Structures are given as C-alpha cells and as structure tokens.
Amino acid sequence: MSVPTYFEDRMVKGAFKSMLHEHHFVEENGSTVMTDVFSYETPFGILGILFDKLYLENYMRKFLQKRNAHLKHMLEST
C-alpha cells in the first residue's frame, strides 16, 4: 500500500489459482481518478481457460464496472 496513491488486494486462498486487484489513484483537475488493474488465473488447466474465455472474463469485467459505478455514486453523494 502506498497511501494515498495505491493499494492492492491479493488472494491468499480461494477459488482462483491466483488473483491480484490493484487500485491506482491520481488527482486530475481537482478530482480523484481510480484505475483498477485486475488479473487472475483460473484453476483446472484447459477447462479453466475455456470457462474463462466463454464466461468468466466478461462476468468479471461487468462485475467490476458495476461495483465501481456504485462506489462512485456513494462517494459523490456524500
């Protein structure tokens, strides 16, 4: 963690083979801009890769976009 510009979530144990979620913050024109970098590996070899390409990658992208929109709304309405 590098306050106030960066922090990360790193999976220690869970459903993914590995998972890293980075949050980068910069100030632009008096506003805070957050950029997410999300990387993961699926377990189960070729089956995991296939599942990722057919479903999971799109699901995770939409999940993060929806979550970030909700956070933005909550933070800007306070």
pLDDT (tens digit per residue) in 17-44: 999 999 999 999 988 899 999 999 999 9
Looking at residue 52, the DSSP 8-state letter turns out to be I
Spatial distance between the Cα atoms of 34 and 69, rounded to a whole number of angstroms: 11
**What integer pLDDT is reported at residue 25 of this predicted model?**
93
Report the predicted TM-score, pTM, of the whole model to 2 decimal places: 0.82
The answer on pLDDT for 47 being more than 60 is yes
Residue 1's pLDDT band (boundaries 50, 70, 90)? low
Dihedral angle sign, alpha carbons of residues 28, 34, 36, 37: positive
Tally Cβ neighbours within 10 Å of residue 19. Answer: 17
Determine contact, residues 22/36, Cβ cutoff 8 Å.
Answer: yes
